[in-house]
């Protein structure tokens, strides 16, 4: 009988001890706070735009468009604008393409980007000098570098680059797009042409 009482008391003490420890552990919270950035300039807080110009017909008529969504994937902060731009990595969903013509937008997505199985245009910007830099762009499973020129004025970064999409093995995609736009891409000479050249204009307002 005494042994039963002893074991009962021992079990109760052990149970209360475990319960108390569990309760203590469960009520303890570890506060984790994200480090506060002290950078003066941030691309995630800036107004970013990517505009492009493609060309059609033998006369090289410009076709203007934009990407309405730009995601900053890595870096993008600095105490100067050039520091914020340097080594920034970004991703652009091709679904956000916009030319103010829904039929054209669909054709570019379907017969150009989808033809290359490209959903995201990803890249990285690197500053080389006070006016020049290098953009690394991935498309169609291929990564290439493109030189660009830029200027910074009134807290606005603007850059320009010219791409030859054949560097991303896009010749078949260009042919696919030109076929579906054959009549629309005919000039005065009756020749249907879609140029391989695309001009990029990127602008960030801080």
Domain boundaries, the chain: 41-205
| Residues paired with 25 in a beta bridge | none
Report whether pLDDT(17) > 90: no
Who has greater pLDDT, 122 or 1? Answer: 122
pLDDT value for 37: 76
pLDDT value for 9: 42
pLDDT value for 8: 44
Distances (CA, A) of 26 to 14, 22, 131: 18, 6, 57
State mean pLDDT over 154-177.
Answer: 97
pLDDT value for 10: 42
For residues 141 and 143, give the distance between their C-alpha atoms in angstroms, rounded to a whole number.
7
Instruction: Please give the mean pLDDT across all residues of the chain.
Output: 88
Contact criterion met (CB below 8 Å) for 136 and 145: yes
State mean pLDDT over 191-204.
Answer: 97
pLDDT value for 36: 72
Nearest to 160 by CA among 204, 96, 203, 126: 203
pTM value surpassing 0.85: no
pLDDT value for 33: 61
Contact criterion met (CB below 8 Å) for 186 and 125: no
Report whether pLDDT(21) > 90: no
Report whether pLDDT(20) > 90: no
pLDDT value for 35: 66
pLDDT value for 34: 54
CATH pick for 41-205 out of 3.40.50.620, 3.40.50.2020, 3.30.1490.190, 2.40.128.110: 2.40.128.110
């Amino acid at each position: 009988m005494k042994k039963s009482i002893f074991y009962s008391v021992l079990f109760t003490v052990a149970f209360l001890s475990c319960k108390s420890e569990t309760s203590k552990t469960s009520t303890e919270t570890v506060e984790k706070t994200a480090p506060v950035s002290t950078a003066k300039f941030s691309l995630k807080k800036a107004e970013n735009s990517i505009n492009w110009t493609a060309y059609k017909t033998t006369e090289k008529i410009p076709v203007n468009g934009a990407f309405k969504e730009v995601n900053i994937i890595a870096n993008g902060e600095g105490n100067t604008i050039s520091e914020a731009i340097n080594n920034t990595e970004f991703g652009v969903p091709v679904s956000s393409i916009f030319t103010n013509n829904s039929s054209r937008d669909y054709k570019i997505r379907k017969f150009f980007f989808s033809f290359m199985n490209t959903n995201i245009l990803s890249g990285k910007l690197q500053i080389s000098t006070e006016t020049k830099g290098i953009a690394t762009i991935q498309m169609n499973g291929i990564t290439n570098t493109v030189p660009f020129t830029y200027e910074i004025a009134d807290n606005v970064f603007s850059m320009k680059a010219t791409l030859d999409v054949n560097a991303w093995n896009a010749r078949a995609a260009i042919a696919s797009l030109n076929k579906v736009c054959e009549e629309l891409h005919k000039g005065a000479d009756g020749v249907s042409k879609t140029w391989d050249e695309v001009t990029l204009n990127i602008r960030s307002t801080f």
